[in-house]
Structure 1
Amino acid sequence: MQSEDNRNLLLAIVLSVGVMVGWNYFYGAPKIDQQRQAAQQTQAAQPPAGQAPSSTVLPSGAPAATAPAAQPPAVSVAAPVTREAALARSPRVRIETPSLTGSIAVIGARIDDLSLVRYRETVDPKSPNIVLYVPDGAKDAYFADFGWLGGQNLPNENTQWQPSGDVLKPGTPLTLTYDNGQGLVFTRRIEVDDKYLFTVTDSVRNNGAAPVALQNYGRVTRKGTPTVLGFYILHEGLIGYVADKLQEVSFDSIRKDKSKTFARSEGGWLGLTEKYWASALIPDQKKPFSAAFGSNGNDPVYESAAITEVQQVAPGASIDSTIRLFAGAKEVNAINGYGDAFGVKNFDLMIDWGWFYFITKPMFWVMDKVFHLIGNFGVTILIVTVLIKLLFFPLANKSYESMAKMKAVQPEMLAIRDRFADDKMKQQQAMMELYKKEKINPMAGCLPVLIQIPVFFALYKVLFVTIEMRHAPFFGWIKDLSAQDPTNLFNLFGLLPFTPPSMLHLGVWPIIMGITMWVQMKMNPEPTDPIQKTMFAWMPVIFTFMLGSFPAGLVIYWAWNNILSVAQQYLIMKKLGTKIELWDNLKGTFRRG
């Protein structure tokens, strides 16, 4: 009975995981294709360059998110221009750091041209760098801008600023100035560190005769819907920690709702995020600000903005306001460092650690430490899996000890069940007396499995969402642990010159995983129920095909975990003198075959 209970629990867990994996396989992948097609259609339907809608998050009269640059070169307005043409619309100040390269537009003073130095589109070291920001007017425009609200003749996207130099790099800040000719002189100081943080300090001096009330703002704008993975375990879209709560808004939902505002927040951040890349505004953590997410719903344009409180600028006086911008790769150590250095509320939640963050974050910490000692992320996965197994070994040992005791009293349990076949209450009482007499805990076999469920999902989450596994090699043909195993059984692992459909992608590591799962099933007696028996027989085959399209790192983990589980169960059962069903089951399988 205990064996049947454990088997039913295992079946429920495996089926739950199967639902998760199957949902990603049959729904997640098709959704990506649908979103890619929708993105292409919306791009084709976008308004001509220079005729995009006004801001969706700033008050009426604020600078438009996609207005034309002042006196641009003659270009066609029928469609977005090339990236190069959009860059040529304004004089530029170069950005040169160990992590970023790009430029700032002198007209409009936008940060709108950024590429990531250490990240490329593919594992090929000659492939293009990841492009994060794209200037307005080009396809998939994506940029950050800053400014003032509340006065007349304020600087906007058409303003010609005067730069202090021609390059921005760590230790060499850039200062931009603009005199509106009506008594207000604007200064923008931009600093950048060696990773992904810009510090933008806007100052205003009032040389006029009347006071002026102004608000400073920072805004991240993206034109067009990016292709997202569509997996429910990962948020991609608008994000922020404002009003003392993590806010996660998908691209789909903001297009429907148009806007989401937060009247007052003290501390926090907000921006746009994808799986590996993000842009986030970090206002002064000691001053209140309002925040907003927005979209026009059609073109589409997505915006996140932070707006400071009103400040009065008396004649002869000046004010300043600082907003930081994170723009780059979601590296765990970098994000944690910024959160600690500037006291940013829950900035670590920029990375989607999930519900089990109290397990996921420590697990990443361990993996990161092991990786820096070993230098291979694949080997790190193997070592951390062993550490987890060692951590739970005492529980597993108790579980199998309990199962051995249960097996020893199995004849007595069957006798009790026969004796009180018509009286379930007395049957249960007799069973409990037997457990007490033999010092058996009937839940001991289930507890280790239940405890390991959140650990399994936490490790799954770490391997799935952290950028550290992206383009990380293992050995042999695995050049990228974040991508699926490139080999395929159905073209004889590359010998036949064709590419099978995605549903038939079955690489070497998924096959290894399926074999290890099958062996693990054979460690226990076969179920007596014919339905369960059939399900357990087909489960390794189903999971093998489902995991064929999963990142190789996850498949390697699963295969290695199965191997360790088989070895662990074998050693414990041998130590306890319990019959190991593996050999009889294997003989029976091949005899039937």
Structure 2
Amino acid sequence: MGETKNIVLFAAISIAVFFGYNALFISPQQEALQREAAQQAATQVEDGIAPKEAAPVDMDSAEASDTALPEPDNSDIGHVKIVTPELSGSLSLRGARFDDLLLVNHKVSMEEGADEIRLLRNAGQPDAYYARFGWAASRQESDFVPGPRSAWTADSDTLTPDQPVTLAWDNGDGVRYLMKVEVDDKFMFTVTQTVINSTDEVLQVAPYGMITRRGEPKTDGLYILHEGPLGVFDNKLEERTYSDIKDDGNFEATDITGGWMGITGKYWMATLIPDQKASLSVARMKHSGGAYRVDYVENWQQIDAGGSLESQSRFYAGAKIVSTIDAYAEKYDIALFDRTIDWGWLWFFTKPIFAGLHWLFQATGNYGIAILAMTVILKLILFPLANKSYRSMSHMKDAQPKIKKLQERYKDDKQKLQQEMMALYQKEKINPMAGCLPMIPQIFIFFALYKTLYVTIEMRHQPFFGWITDLSARDTLTPVNLFGLIDWTPPAMIAIGVLPILMGITMWLQQKLNPQTSMDPTQQKVMSFLPIIFTFIMAGFSSGLVLYWTWNNLLSIAQQSFIMKREHARREAQGKTSS
């Protein structure tokens, strides 16, 4: 039994250390590094791209002419307005940049009048965040292909799901470039580029796409959530944090087909999706000149004199809504596109947990109720394990007087005590490991639910009842300031909410139901303090997760009490019958 207690204690302390470290050291937000000064940002220019085989053109010289300019031309020459049910903003005609985008159905907070989430920002800003598409060419003239300073024209001033827009740029030397931009009612742009060669020579060109983000954004800093550059290259997911790219070097994949690459946050992302059958010369995630960038370039393609060439790619800019992303993955056959949401290495378990929760939400209209219902369902599924465990606990509790007698009789003979204890366990049908059986799946369920509540936007700003207005945020109703009656915001370390306190109480009650066996005094003290430790740790976690744990504890107490009382009564009746 001592071995069982050691295992339980080890598991409990491991969980406490894991969540305590995140809550107390990593989770408190570190201030982002200072933004680059605006003047410095103005002098920064994006380095261009071209296929590797483009000798003498290398990967970073397609737009090299810009680096010679002290101040790249970001002047406003007009915009195409973007209006969809989900997005608003504009497409700049200077460089044909996607650099102004708001998510109209998502606010920065739940406060009345809160601003809309801004995803993309103008290229002239110190925290610019934008996307561009274009062409690399084997000819070296700086104005042969459109670049970041090129002035495009548009056939319409507004882009909507029902009204595409075609941009045009002419190099004045017999080559015309067209860019047809379409957008759906969600977050997907389709960009169709065309090169029309009116010269009498054969041209070599290659389409590319790039996303640039200047400065390093503020992130949650938790290792369970990836924020930064990521992509799928040859059906393999690659993730790099901002520090990975800056400190450890750039990522580069060559000679691949299709895939995708982008920059992701917790709930929002911008992602390039080339033609899934296109051969890419190179795709990169890199840091240069104070900016982070993901890009790709296809292999060289030939345009005969008097001919033309068309290339189509897509650009996802918006919220990471599970159903939307899954629909795009199926519609456009995008490999592993669902991994834009960080489901973790237990994705095969986390995704079904989310699917079940979301289905229950659709049935009940409340994610809090969905969490309670999901917990009941999981309890029913795990009932055989719990039943076996609690029956063994009941036998252990009934056998406590016999165990104590053996411990007193053989206190000087450990080997004999162990032999007699094993014989007693066998006679009383006690399985010392049975208490650990329900814990194993519960740990996986807890982590999966924690991941789901933390990373999915569907949980963001979802209310439960009463004071719990956001299941994805911590419980802020605390007795420390008399539940808000005192106009004072206590430090997060001591601002223990009502839900975490209830969770700690239920954890203590459940602990009291377990058989009290002899163990090392130090272990006893640690075990007795675990409810308090977990109360402080869980205070910083999402209300939805604490709600799950509290409700799970209450169900476990009811289940354990019922099974143990029933088993105790059965054994008493059996004893009377045999006597």
Task: With the length of structure 2 as denominator, give the TM-score of the two structures.
Answer: 0.89
Mapping for residues 193-592 of structure 1, pairs under 5 Å: 193-289=184-280, 290-296=282-288, 300-407=290-397, 422=413, 424=415, 441-526=431-516, 528=518, 529-577=520-568
Match of 2:125 in 1: 138
Q: Give the deviation of 1:536 after TM superposition.
A: 2.3
Question: Structure 1 residues 306, 393: CA separation in 2 closer, same or farther (over 3 Å shift)?
Answer: same
Is the counterpart of residue 63 in structure 1 residue 55 in structure 2?
no
Question: Structure 1 residues 509, 57: CA separation in 2 closer, same or farther (over 3 Å shift)?
Answer: farther
**One-letter amino acid of the counterpart of residue 174, structure 1:** V
Question: Structure 1 residues 578, 174: CA separation in 2 closer, same or farther (over 3 Å shift)?
Answer: farther
Q: In structure 1, the residue corresponding to 2:14 is in which secondary structure?
A: helix
Mapped contact 2:170–2:176 kept (Cα < 8 A): yes
The alignment-based identity, stated in percent, is 44
Q: Pick which of 470-479 and 483-492 moved more.
A: 483-492
Determine which of 93, 103, 108 is the counterpart of 1:106: 93
Q: In structure 2, the residue corresponding to 1:503 is in which secondary structure?
A: coil
- Alpha-carbon distance in 2 for matches of 1:63, 1:476: 57
- Alpha-carbon distance in 2 for matches of 1:326, 1:126: 27
Match of 1:43 in 2: 36
Mapped contact 1:56–1:294 kept (Cα < 8 A): no
Q: Give the deviation of 1:406 after TM superposition.
A: 4.5
Determine which of 164, 181, 195 is the counterpart of 1:173: 164
Q: Give the deviation of 1:455 after TM superposition.
A: 1.7
Mapped contact 2:49–2:208 kept (Cα < 8 A): no
Question: Structure 1 residues 99, 108: CA separation in 2 closer, same or farther (over 3 Å shift)?
Answer: same
Question: Structure 1 residues 127, 512: CA separation in 2 closer, same or farther (over 3 Å shift)?
Answer: same
Q: Give the deviation of 1:94 after TM superposition.
A: 0.7
- Alpha-carbon distance in 1 for matches of 2:191, 2:421: 72
Q: Pick which of 380-389 and 402-411 moved more.
A: 402-411
Question: Structure 1 residues 486, 444: CA separation in 2 closer, same or farther (over 3 Å shift)?
Answer: closer
Match of 2:11 in 1: 13
**How many residues in Structure 1 have an aligned counterpart in Structure 2?**
552
Q: Give the deviation of 1:257 after TM superposition.
A: 3.0
- Alpha-carbon distance in 2 for matches of 1:304, 1:171: 30
- Alpha-carbon distance in 1 for matches of 2:287, 2:239: 15
Q: In structure 2, the residue corresponding to 1:43 is in which secondary structure?
A: coil
Task: With the length of structure 1 as denominator, give the TM-score of the two structures.
Answer: 0.87
Q: In structure 2, the residue corresponding to 1:295 is in which secondary structure?
A: strand
Match of 1:76 in 2: none
Query: Root-mean-square deviation (CA), in Å?
Result: 2.5
CA distances 1:526-563 after superposition (whole Å, capped 9, x unpaired): 45432122212222222222222222222222211111
Q: In structure 1, the residue corresponding to 2:434 is in which secondary structure?
A: coil
- Alpha-carbon distance in 1 for matches of 2:569, 2:194: 77
**One-letter amino acid of the counterpart of residue 471, structure 2:** L
- Alpha-carbon distance in 2 for matches of 1:315, 1:513: 74
Determine which of 172, 181, 184 is the counterpart of 1:190: 181
Unaligned runs of at least 5 residues, structure 2: 51-58, 571-579
Match of 2:146 in 1: 155
- Alpha-carbon distance in 2 for matches of 1:260, 1:52: 21
Q: Give the deviation of 1:130 after TM superposition.
A: 0.3
- Alpha-carbon distance in 2 for matches of 1:455, 1:71: 51
